[in-house]
């Protein structure tokens, strides 16, 4: 790890100004410090953003929740009122890493984390995301990689909170230069679909301030994942879902798969199929098939397809129960 300077920002404007000259934001530091130790990131300045006003709060007003970017995952998982209103958020936070990691890892950091691909993380390899000519997963080991391969990079989005918040139609408030902008969850990640060198749509000086999400009447939500270990492990596949539920029937469904594409994966036709219907075995199977219809599993990750189908069925059944 190279030498670096350290500064604490007391406002979003000062944080953005400080980080412009080869700097990086740091809050929990779970992802960034790992990259620095592996030589993947060499910032000249770390800008501590933990003291930015309004970024450590969880606030509800008129059924609209504001979640500060510096709220820890432990705080999200343990917030009883939030868990009742928007259970998918707490369920997703619960599944991240270990208890020790959740105590320091932040909501903003979970959304903005970089690729977990072993080709990207290997200090001796120069993959597409590190400026190389191609994605090394193509023709390589793809056990943990994307099912949807229409993009140049096969590294999937693995943020638990991204899936839950996408299913809840959340928006992300970002400090971009001298102004704040609001992004949908799709907008937060769509650049990674279009450009294999990117992890998300944030510029190096973009700073997530908070996430805003409505707790709509009669809308239920859930998050599920499958991993190789019960604790302290990345998901192999994850699924988040939300819907209004009346008399066991679903409406306004949002169904999202994680760890299968560079972005949270949705298909509108799969959601439309569920409109006004009870999630029977046949209906859930048909929705899962539509969600996965463009999947192109490789030799090593075909197992993700049945996992995804099972998670979709379980998530829909949980919503209706």
Does residue 191 sit in the same domain as residue 314? no
Same domain as 227, residue 194: no
Predicted confidence at residue 183, as pLDDT, reads 98
Same-domain status, 210 and 247: no
Which residues are CB-neighbours of 179 under 8 A, at least 6 positions away? none
Pair 188, 266 in one domain? no
Q: Which of 321, 317, 318, 241 has the alpha carbon at shortest distance from 282? A: 317
259 and 209 in a common domain? no
Q: Indicate whether 197 pLDDT > 90.
A: yes
Query: Considering its fold, how many domains does the chain have in total?
Result: 3
Question: Which range marks the domain in which residue 28 is found?
Answer: 1-53
Within 8 A by CB and 6+ apart from 44, the residues are: 4, 5, 21, 22, 23
Domain CATH code at residue 186: 3.30.465.10
Query: What confidence tier does 231 reach under pLDDT thresholds 50, 70, 90?
Result: confident
Specify the pLDDT at position 217.
86
- 274: which residues sit within 8 A by CB, 6+ positions away? 243, 250, 253, 255, 283, 287, 316
CA distances, 170 to each of 66, 135, 189 (Å)? 10, 31, 13
In which band, very low, low, confident or very high, does the pLDDT at 232 lie, cut at 50, 70 and 90? confident
CATH number at residue 314: 3.30.390.50
Checking if the pLDDT of 211 tops 90, the result is yes
* Gap between the Cα atoms of 199 and 205, Å rounded: 14
Q: What is the pLDDT of residue 149?
A: 87
- Asked if pLDDT for residue 129 goes beyond 90, the answer is yes
Residue 21 has pLDDT above 90, yes or no: no
In a domain, 120, yes or no: no
Task: Examine the fold and report which residue of 174, 190, 214 is the final residue of a domain before the chain moves on.
Answer: 214
Residues 70 and 107 in one domain: yes
What pLDDT sits at residue 230? 82
pLDDT at residue 278, rounded to an integer: 95
Looking at the structure, tell me whether residues 80 and 176 fall in a common domain: yes
Instruction: Indicate the residue among 167, 193, 214 that finishes a domain.
Output: 214
Do the beta carbons of residue 226 and residue 140 sit within 8 Å? Answer: no
Distance, CA of 257 to CA of 227 (rounded, Å):
14
Looking at 189, 214, 239, the residue that finishes a domain is 214
Residue 148 within any structural domain of the chain: no
- Mean pLDDT over residues 172-197, rounded? 97
Decide if 81 is inside a domain.
yes
Residue showing tokens 């953005």 = 16
Q: Are residues 173 and 292 in the same domain?
A: no
Write the pLDDT tens digit of every residue in 40-92: 999 999 999 999 999 999 999 989 999 999 999 999 999 999 999 999 999 99
Six-digit token string for 209: 């301030």
Going by their DSSP bridges, the two strands 171-176 and 179-184 should be labelled as antiparallel
Angle, vertex CA 306, rays to CA 305 and CA 312, nearest 5: 90
81 with 169, same domain: the answer is yes
Q: Which CATH number fits the domain that encloses residue 49?
A: 3.30.43.10
pLDDT tens string 239-266? 999 999 999 999 999 999 999 999 999 9
pLDDT tier for residue 35 given thresholds of 50, 70 and 90: very high
Strand partners, 251: 244
């Amino acid at each position: 790890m190279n030498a670096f300077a350290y500064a604490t920002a007391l406002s979003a404007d000062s944080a953005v100004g400080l980080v412009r000259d080869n700097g990086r934001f740091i809050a929990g530091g779970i992802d960034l410090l790992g990259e620095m130790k592996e030589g993947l990131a060499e910032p000249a300045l770390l800008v501590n953003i933990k003291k930015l006003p309004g970024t450590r709060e969880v606030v509800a007003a008129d059924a609209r929740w504001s979640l500060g970017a510096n709220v820890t995952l432990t705080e999200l998982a343990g917030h009883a009122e939030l868990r009742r209103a928007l259970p998918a958020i707490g369920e997703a936070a619960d599944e991240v890493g270990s208890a020790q990691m959740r105590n320091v890892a932040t909501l903003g950091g979970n959304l903005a984390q970089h690729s977990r691909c072993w080709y990207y993380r290997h200090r001796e390899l120069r993959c597409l995301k590190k400026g190389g000519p191609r994605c090394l997963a193509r023709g390589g080991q793809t056990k943990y990689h994307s099912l949807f391969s229409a993009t140049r990079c096969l590294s999937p989005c693995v943020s638990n909170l991204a899936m839950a918040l996408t299913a809840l139609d959340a928006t992300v408030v970002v400090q971009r230069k001298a102004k704040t902008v609001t992004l949908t969850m799709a907008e937060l990640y769509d650049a990674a679909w279009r450009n294999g060198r990117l992890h998300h749509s944030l510029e190096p000086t973009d700073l997530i301030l908070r996430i805003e999400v409505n707790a709509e009447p009669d809308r239920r939500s859930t998050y599920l994942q499958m991993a190789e270990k019960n604790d302290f492990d990345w998901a192999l596949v994850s699924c988040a879902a939300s819907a209004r539920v009346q008399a066991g029937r679903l409406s306004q469904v949002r169904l999202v798969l994680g760890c299968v594409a560079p972005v949270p994966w949705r298909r509108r036709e799969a959601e439309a199929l569920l409109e006004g219907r009870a999630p029977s075995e046949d209906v859930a199977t048909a929705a899962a098939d539509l969600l996965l219809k463009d999947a192109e599993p490789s030799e090593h990750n075909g197992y993700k397809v049945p996992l995804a189908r099972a998670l979709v069925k379980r998530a829909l059944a949980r919503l209706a129960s």
